[in-house]
Structure 1
């Protein structure tokens, strides 16, 4: 039966090639059946090389044979049906990787003997490496999306306690010289600050400090509140004034706050937020330093040691919580990532 085929580049045996003949392959090949992926062999060649292909079909079934340039899939040779290749000579038009595709027209794979010989065009390309190295490449398809992006994380102040109350003297028969104030810190608190002052003089001194914040960025950030400014690090310290009286204070949980207020033995304060015989005092407590309590509340307890004089006491507590700031942006995101192999041509 006559063989039909397409021969795009044919080199006659009479064309002179000055390079020495090199056998590239001498293989027993299992050629895939018609229902299987085709058998493929890849080699690199220089422009002007002459290839000599032989294929001995041991099963005597028909094969489809194609030789094509790898990157463009342009055929150098193709035949739909043949039982063998005998001294098939092809001239390589350009330096590249070429794929030899073998497919049995039978349903099952069959064995064949395959040889491939290279005749370089000149001695200059005699040592060209025909082995193909491969690299893995990821092709990314991108898309855009609108999403909220965190641009910074500010601190926001929240007033927890701001009140004035009276502590009676020790000898007062109708009122207590001890008092506790319960408070709960908001979620996401990073740290909190407090200020306690005896008498109107302490309050006025604190207010005078606030006037120094009345202009500029500090005023915008703090609202002129000196305790907020202290909590944000804009003021290194707060005023402490002389007064006619003094108090002691401690931080408790619920049970110890009760024992303290009732002047019962056994109360134990926490180590933070504590002062003895102060006229005014303040402090900053990190959330990592803040005790965890069963009911989630903290209790500041105050004591007036004077046997004669009752005292007006002002307490301020401000918490600083995370305040994330977001912006809406168009962002570029990978929609699909495809991995493929690509041959690497050896240098000349």
Structure 2
């Protein structure tokens, strides 16, 4: 029969107590974080913390109303999963051994249509020689700049041009009692060029009005060298149609023209009909759409509308006995943009937050 004396038994009990004391001290839990998290419907919450090599992580979790949470996961940052559970309402004293010093993350995901309120605790059992490890995670802003190239359109130049749409058309408009049976109404088609900015027109009845026009044209030609300088467009004129009118070019550019008033010329009533159908309504004596009208022996104006397409000049002679010859002139100011392609350098800056530890 084995016998142990009193002294030996006392030494054995003392040794066991001392071993138990230091073991308990070595495994003392340190709270990393504890509290309550509300995970909104169809969302997730994340909590970051640091751990040291050799630590033990003890994790507890419960949903306050006993409802399941879809996903519960602890990861080693950025995506090394250390623990994952699915559709749980509570987890008790889940212990994870930490191999690597680094940043860890608690992820709680809720796929329900109502919120989940979760109590949790994260406790650390530190390695014997690392009691004061700082588990706080800090954040810094990172930026990465990437250079790339794109093709873009750019304006090379602008060509500003005076175009003679109708240099000089003489249109006969018969009287109300014309013996040939022709009507005292007529129309003239006008088609504007592309890229019109503004345009001008002149309508003059008979030779007296034409004499007034030629006098104004002569005066304008004398100042033709100043026309570009007088233009409000810094590039001046790229080209000038030699068949056109200088005085109408000035009118189209700046709204400036100098015409006298004829003493003996007959008058003409006119309208600018919007399209062919409305011109036909005019010819038939019906109501029609128009955007400009007048009545006189000599008429002119600068127009900003329309800038493209076809319209019709409608002429009406209210003279009972005499037909009239109407001189029609139209000039348009156009700006043509010349575009090219070029390669330009651009930069894209990507910004993100990156976690780090201060140990």
TM-score interval for Structure 1 and Structure 2 normalised by the shorter chain:
0.5 to 0.7
Mapping of residues 152-167 of structure 1, within 5 Å: 156-167=161-172
Structure 1 gaps of 5+ residues are 1-22, 28-39, 44-50, 59-65, 68-82, 89-97, 103-111, 121-127
1:56 aligned onto 2:56: yes
- Mapped contact 1:26–1:115 kept (Cα < 8 A): no
Residues 150, 118 of structure 1: alpha-carbon distance in 2 compared, 3 angstrom cutoff:
farther
1:274 aligned onto 2:293: yes
Cα deviation, residue 257, structure 1: 2.6
Cα deviation, residue 160, structure 1: 2.8
Residues 139, 240 of structure 1: alpha-carbon distance in 2 compared, 3 angstrom cutoff:
farther
- Mapped contact 1:197–1:313 kept (Cα < 8 A): yes
Q: Which residue of 2 aligns with 1:341?
A: 353
Query: Which deviations, in whole Å up to 9, do the C-alpha atoms of 1:240-296 show, x marking residues without a partner?
Result: 4315223111122434433544xx4324352x32111x1221223333xx499xxx6
Q: Which residue of 2 aligns with 1:214?
A: 224
Q: Which residue of 2 aligns with 1:150?
A: 155
Report which stretch shifted further, 216-225 or 172-181.
Answer: 216-225
Cα deviation, residue 181, structure 1: 0.3
**For the pair shown, which has the larger CA radius of gyration, 1 or 2?**
2
Q: Which residue of 1 aligns with 2:303?
A: 285
Query: Which deviations, in whole Å up to 9, do the C-alpha atoms of 1:99-119 show, x marking residues without a partner?
Result: 4479xxxxxxxxx96356775
- State the aligned residue count: 249
- Mapped contact 1:159–1:317 kept (Cα < 8 A): yes
Q: Which residue of 2 aligns with 1:257?
A: 279
State the alpha-carbon separation in 2 of the partners of residues 57 and 146 from structure 1: 55
State the alpha-carbon separation in 1 of the partners of residues 312 and 171 from structure 2: 17
Match of 2:32 among 25, 29, 40: 25
Residues 101, 331 of structure 1: alpha-carbon distance in 2 compared, 3 angstrom cutoff:
same
Mapping of residues 77-226 of structure 1, within 5 Å: 99-100=102-103, 114-115=124-125, 130-135=136-141, 139-145=144-150, 147-150=152-155, 156-170=161-175, 171-174=177-180, 176-198=183-205, 199=207, 200-216=210-226, 218=228, 221=237, 223=240, 225-226=246-247
Query: Which deviations, in whole Å up to 9, do the C-alpha atoms of 1:182-204 show, x marking residues without a partner?
Result: 12334554443322122321330
Greater fraction of residues in helix = 2
Cα deviation, residue 299, structure 1: 1.1
Please, what TM-score do these two structures have when normalized by structure 1? Answer: 0.53
Residues 118, 134 of structure 1: alpha-carbon distance in 2 compared, 3 angstrom cutoff:
farther
Query: Which deviations, in whole Å up to 9, do the C-alpha atoms of 1:100-148 show, x marking residues without a partner?
Result: 479xxxxxxxxx963567759xxxxxxx99541354x553322335543
- Mapped contact 1:160–1:184 kept (Cα < 8 A): yes
Q: Which residue of 1 aligns with 2:20?
A: none
Residues 56, 145 of structure 1: alpha-carbon distance in 2 compared, 3 angstrom cutoff:
closer
Residues 113, 255 of structure 1: alpha-carbon distance in 2 compared, 3 angstrom cutoff:
closer
Q: Which residue of 1 aligns with 2:327?
A: 314
Give the secondary structure class of the aligned counterpart of 1:245: coil
State the alpha-carbon separation in 1 of the partners of residues 357 and 212 from structure 2: 84
Residues 331, 226 of structure 1: alpha-carbon distance in 2 compared, 3 angstrom cutoff:
farther
Cα deviation, residue 231, structure 1: 1.9
Residues 343, 325 of structure 1: alpha-carbon distance in 2 compared, 3 angstrom cutoff:
farther
Please, what TM-score do these two structures have when normalized by structure 2? Answer: 0.52
Give the secondary structure class of the aligned counterpart of 1:215: helix
Residues 119, 217 of structure 1: alpha-carbon distance in 2 compared, 3 angstrom cutoff:
farther
1:248 aligned onto 2:266: no
Query: Which deviations, in whole Å up to 9, do the C-alpha atoms of 1:196-241 show, x marking residues without a partner?
Result: 12232133034124325421461752737332322222x4344243
State the alpha-carbon separation in 2 of the partners of residues 217 and 240 from structure 1: 20
Q: Which residue of 1 aligns with 2:312?
A: 299
Cα deviation, residue 332, structure 1: 1.6
Residues 42, 194 of structure 1: alpha-carbon distance in 2 compared, 3 angstrom cutoff:
farther
- Mapped contact 2:250–2:257 kept (Cα < 8 A): no
